[in-house]
């Protein structure tokens, strides 16, 4: 898209984003209330409906996380990654700030006895201690959460993960890391002055504005005084197809595996 056409998107983006509630938790609950379908032909921007992305970083995840511990999927949404994680850990617990997301995750998880879901804001004070008291040391999986939090909330989440991982657990995070501006990002995902795909429109009109999350943002949230980086690198994030049916959108991303510093 030419620079001029890209800026023709601005009136639509401003109009849609003006509807986003100021309270982050309210925004997420409202968003999930408007979702009609999930999966490859669904409304959820970050749900491509396949395990292709998960398979791409599974070797790194298996190298770095503790296979005998439960895994907590922070920001689980409707539970697609929680269900994938359940094949590799004794227990998978999906946690999301939106009760509507948790209800949908439970509805879509009917045959996995080692999967559970609960509503909890993992940026809230004491959230990590609460989960730790119940579950003990855990691995933590975070996909597509940190890039949509402000710096203070990122640091609060990281602080809550310390008691949850304890001595034996590890953190594996996967985030979008598109380095262009917001208009470049939206255009990359299939928006044009004439049409904004429904999954993208729902996100713009319902959720806080996303940023990018790479090594610098990780360091700011997960301080070297508290965390050791076991490995990190680039990854590709799959999003629901919005331009060509059956072809997921692909977004540059970043992954990191972290351990609490002894």
The string of DSSP letters for 12-39 reads HHHHHHTTS-SSHHHHHHHHHHH----S
The helix-helix angle for 99-107 and 24-34 (nearest 10°) equals 40
Question: What average pLDDT score do residues 211-233 get?
Answer: 97
Q: Is the pTM for the entire model greater than 0.85?
A: yes
Domain count, the chain: 1
Question: What average pLDDT score do residues 140-161 get?
Answer: 97
Domain that holds residue 128: 3-260
**So what's the pLDDT on residue 135?**
96
Tens digits of residue pLDDT in 205-221: 999 989 999 999 999 99
Question: What average pLDDT score do residues 160-170 get?
Answer: 97
The single residue listed with the structure tokens 């609460």 is 130
Instruction: Name the nearest CA neighbour of 195 among 29, 19, 12.
Output: 12
Tens digits of residue pLDDT in 33-84: 999 999 999 999 999 999 999 999 999 999 999 999 999 999 999 999 999 9
How many beta carbons lie within 10 A of that of residue 81, not counting itself? 25
Residue 1: pLDDT band (50, 70, 90) is low
Helix, strand or coil, per DSSP, at residue 115: strand
Residue 8: pLDDT band (50, 70, 90) is confident
Query: What CATH number is attached to the domain comprising 167?
Result: 3.40.50.150
pLDDT higher than 90, residue 246: no
Instruction: Name the nearest CA neighbour of 242 among 234, 251, 233.
Output: 251
């Amino acid at each position: 898209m030419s620079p001029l056409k890209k800026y023709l998107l601005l009136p639509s983006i401003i109009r849609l984003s003006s509807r986003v509630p100021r309270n982050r938790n309210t925004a997420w609950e409202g968003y999930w209330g408007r979702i009609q379908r999930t999966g490859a032909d669904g409304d959820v921007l970050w749900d491509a409906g396949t395990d292709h992305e998960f398979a791409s970083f599974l070797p790194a995840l298996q190298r770095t996380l503790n296979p005998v511990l439960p895994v907590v999927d922070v920001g689980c949404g409707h539970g697609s990654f929680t269900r994938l994680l359940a094949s590799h850990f004794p227990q998978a617990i999906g946690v999301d700030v939106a009760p509507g997301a948790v209800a949908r995750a439970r509805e879509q998880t009917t045959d996995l006895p080692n999967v559970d879901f609960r509503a909890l804001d993992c940026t809230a004070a004491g959230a990590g201690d609460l989960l730790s008291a119940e579950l003990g040391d855990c691995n933590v999986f975070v996909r597509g959460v940190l890039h949509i939090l402000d710096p203070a909330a990122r640091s609060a989440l990281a602080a809550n993960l310390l008691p949850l991982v304890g001595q034996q657990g590890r953190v594996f995070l996967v985030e979008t890391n598109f380095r262009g501006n917001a208009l470049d990002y939206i255009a990359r995902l299939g928006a044009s002055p004439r049409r904004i795909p429904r999954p993208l429109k729902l996100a713009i009109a319902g959720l806080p504005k996303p940023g990018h999350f790479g090594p610098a943002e990780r360091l700011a949230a997960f301080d070297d005084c508290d965390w050791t980086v076991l490995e990190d690198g680039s990854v590709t994030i799959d999003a629901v197809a919005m331009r060509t049916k059956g072809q997921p959108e692909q977004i540059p991303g970043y992954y990191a595996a972290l351990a609490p510093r002894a």
